Amino acid sequence: MARLVALLAALALGGAEALAVGRTSRVVHGSRGAARMAVTRAPKAGSAVVNGRTVVLPKFSEECSYTGITLTRYMIEFARANPELAELESILASIQTACKTISTLVRRSSMTGLVGLQGGGGSVNVQGEEQKKLDVITNDVLKNALKFSGKMATLASEEEDAPVALDEDDNYDAYRPKDIVIEEGNKYIAVFDPLDGSSNVDAGIPTGTIFGIFDEGDQTCVVDEGLPLTAAEQECLASTLRPGNALIASGYCLYSSATHFVFTLGAGVQGFTLDESNGEFVLTHPDIMLPPRGKIYSLNEGNRWAWDNALRDYVTAIQKGEGESGVAYTSRYIGSMVGDVHRTLLYGGIFAYAGDKKNVNGKLRLLYEAAPMSFLVEQAGGKAVTGLHRIMDIVPSGVHQRVPVIMGSPDDVAECQKYYTAESAKDPEMKKRCDARMVPKLQKVGA
């Protein structure tokens, strides 16, 4: 009976994966067009300590030569290796379902009328940005997917004014046997940007979804939108606004020539690619590590003359081949954080959306863009700073607080940081501005 149960469980992972055993692979085609899998490297085994917890990487002694290691199987093995984090399996399953749905919505948007502005224009989010139709729809898709996981306590999104507290599932009591005491599992806080780069979607330029997961902690924040905060609500909101170093998981989904799902659970970075033939994410980029230095810089050079002197001097040096590497760098800039960071992860180099005279705090949001991406980049061996300080150490002052972002290969970011350190001695206002971000001051809801 036990063997039958195990077989049925394995069949649920994708049929042939239960029966054909090989190594991690990607699809190629033979001379007759028959699909088979080309061998790639399985993820390394090991462990890491994250927020006081040891996270053990799953082991794969056997893999299917036809399906590879699917995200579904990866998370099953992760839950077996880390029973105290088993609920992340349900959360990642919900996120991957939402990402598959969003991928389809984005690809078909020109044919289904989902391009253009919400309501024909005039719909503005809390940041004062006009919302695209897909901004609203993708926010609902991801919010509902996380809600239906039954594991979330609070959600914070780019498209929501304030953190949204989730009520307990109406069916929870119906599932609970009356004569058995069931201990509730942990609840988590999810932060996300449902469609990063949505201003590009009408032109078919890569977009993405960014997410981060925190433990709930001791409090769930429930805020009455539009009303002044009481002292208790201020304290509750402050407990929800946590620095990136408290994240237990983060990642992104890139919607481009393929749909890529890249994430960290605190012990390295794994990259999966959506196999359109069976609807499964398959491991294609195990153990992603940034090279120490790259040859690409990714910034909006239209802002060059508004940048701080430190950034302008650094970019000028690497353009001319006068930086520490002695190599002239190449410029690549998409304008979608997910797309630019994905390329940086794979090829190395540096990505930045720094502060300037027009936007002294940059334009990227700390809680659901900068912090989750910084966690991911650091787990891949990179660095992420505002100029002088580590992004992961900043405690948010508000749900939609913006911060400058400079991230990428460790040697490239460290070199750029030296320019900021030197400039801070000559520009006390810049140093004061940078240091002020390290002292949180709670903003009103919607700030």
Q: Which of 17-26, 170-179, 239-248 has the highest mean pLDDT?
A: 239-248
For the stretch 56-100, pLDDT in tens is 888 888 888 888 999 999 999 999 999 999 999 999 999 999 999
Cα distance between residue 311 and residue 21, in whole Å: 52
Distance of CA 86 to the CA centre of its chain: 20
pLDDT computed for residue 373 by the predictor:
98
Ranges of each domain in the chain? 71-285, 296-436
Token pair 């993708």: residue:
138
Confidence of residue 180 (pLDDT cuts 50, 70, 90): very low
Whether CATH 3.40.190.80 fits 296-436? yes
- Say yes or no to pLDDT of 3 above 60: no
Radius of gyration of the chain (CA): 22
Q: Calculate mean pLDDT across residues 323-337.
A: 96
Judge contact between 400 and 337, C-beta under 8 A.
Answer: no
Evaluate whether 71-285 and 296-436 have a shared fold.
no
Q: Which residue has the higher pLDDT, 74 or 40?
A: 74
Fold of 71-285: Fructose-1,6-Bisphosphatase; Chain A, domain 1 (3.30.540)
Q: Calculate mean pLDDT across residues 391-400.
A: 92
Instruction: For the full predicted model, state whether its pTM sits above 0.85.
Output: no
User: Measuring CA to CA, how many Å separate 404 from each of 188, 316, 433?
Assistant: 27, 19, 11
